[in-house]
Amino acid sequence: MARSYKLENKRFGSKPQQKKNRAARNTARRRAIKSGLVKKGSKMDIHHKDGNPRNNAKSNLSVVSRGSNRNKSPGRPMGKKDTAQRRPRGSKV
């Protein structure tokens, strides 16, 4: 079954608490752009170290790659990216 973004937004993304969390994440991103930590369109994310998107203290924020940040997200189940050991190219098992 394909993912229904419309239904997902209706059930989850439109709730007041999630709107506030999204606004706080956007605020953190705008502040990082303004201070020169990241550029608009860069492939970097603003990581909230404690997992709370409303805590925008400078000590709680860091700039990390998209893949790294979205792999570490709190509440995300451990997947292949989290547990896999990378083998050198050309090596066989």
In degrees rounded to 5, what are phi and psi of residue 51?
Answer: 80, 0
Which residue matches tokens 């705008």? 30
The pLDDT confidence band at residue 86, using thresholds 50, 70 and 90, is: low
Residue pLDDT, tens place only, 7-61 = 988 888 889 999 999 999 999 999 999 999 999 999 999 999 998 999 999 999 9
Distance CA 64, CA 42 (A): 11
Q: Is the pTM of this model over 0.75?
A: no
In degrees rounded to 5, what are phi and psi of residue 5?
Answer: -65, -35
Distance CA 31, CA 41 (A): 14
Distance CA 32, CA 12 (A): 27
Q: Where are the domains of the chain?
A: 15-72
| Per-residue CA distances from 62 to 28, 50, 82 (Å) | 10, 11, 20
Indicate if the pLDDT at residue 88 is higher than 90. Answer: no
